[in-house]
């Protein structure tokens, strides 16, 4: 739990650091910034990503497929956001008296580099907090129950609960979702 709290603290710190630049550094209206080729390329790439239809997490791995993977019937509940993030929560919709498998699949379009840099930063300051997770995606790290997977420019996050073989289950989810991204 301390690892998860440390990850959250570093994430918030990095977010605040990015927002804490002086108005001059952010290019306020009073200090016009001069665009350069690099700025134009970044803007063009951002606009291109906005115009591309991105699949929803619940479509990347259907509830039926996730039920087979988890070995228990689940429904997928979308938790999509307008900020370039799509999420699907897979859990049983029937009341149960015992624990049942649970999965959370999130895709942050274009955010892999930021997440991997943050994980690397955390690992430098708290060795072992972001353990390498071999064999999935371009790069992957596990921070507590959260598995962050870099796949190209995108970040896939998988959280599993009440699953016996977490690495094997995560790999199955990744292998189904990746070709559909």
Least confident stretch, 55-64, 71-80, 112-121: 112-121
Q: What percent of the chain has pLDDT over 70?
A: 63
**DSSP state letters, the chain:** -HHHHHHHHHHHHHHHHHH-S-HHHHT-TTSPPPP-HHHHHHHHHHHHHHHS----HHHHS-HHHHHHHHTS--EEEE--BTTTEEEEEEE-SS--SS---EEEEEEETT-HHHHHHHHHHHHHHSTTSSEE-TTSSSEEEEETTEEEEEETTEEEEEEEES-S-HHHHHHHHHHHHGGG-
Q: How confident is the model at residue 40 (pLDDT cuts 50, 70, 90)?
A: low
Residue 98 has what pLDDT?
78
Per-domain residue ranges of the chain: 2-180
Residue 29, pLDDT score: 45
pLDDT of residue 20: 39
Higher pLDDT, 160 or 38: 160
Question: What does pLDDT average to over the chain?
Answer: 76
If one compares 109 and 42, the residue with the highest pLDDT of the two is 109
Residue 51 confidence (pLDDT): 55
Look up the pTM and report it. Answer: 0.67
Does the structure show a pLDDT above 90 at 3? no
* pLDDT average, residue stretch 149-156: 93
CATH fold for domain 2-180: Protein Transport Mog1p; Chain A (3.40.1000)
Predicted local distance difference test score (pLDDT) of residue 30: 44
Asked whether the predicted pLDDT for residue 102 surpasses 80, the reply is yes
Determine the average pLDDT of the residues in 66-70. 97
């Amino acid at each position: 739990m301390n690892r998860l709290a440390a990850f959250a603290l570093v994430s918030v710190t990095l977010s605040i650091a990015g927002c804490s630049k002086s108005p001059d550094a952010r290019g306020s209206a009073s200090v016009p910034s001069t665009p350069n080729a690099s700025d134009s390329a970044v803007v063009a790439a951002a606009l291109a990503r906005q115009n591309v239809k991105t699949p929803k997490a619940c479509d990347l791995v259907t509830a039926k497929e996730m039920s087979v993977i988890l070995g228990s019937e689940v429904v997928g509940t979308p938790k999509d956001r307008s900020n370039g993030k799509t999420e699907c929560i897979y859990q049983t919709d029937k009341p149960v008296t015992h624990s049942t498998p649970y999965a959370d699949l999130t895709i942050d379009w274009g955010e892999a580099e930021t997440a991997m840099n943050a994980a690397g930063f955390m690992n430098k300051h708290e060795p072992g907090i972001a353990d390498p997770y071999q064999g999935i995606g371009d790069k992957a790290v596990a921070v507590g129950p959260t598995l962050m997977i870099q796949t190209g420019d995108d970040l896939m996050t998988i959280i599993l609960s009440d699953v016996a073989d977490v690495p094997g289950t995560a790999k199955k989810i990744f292998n189904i979702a990746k070709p559909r991204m």
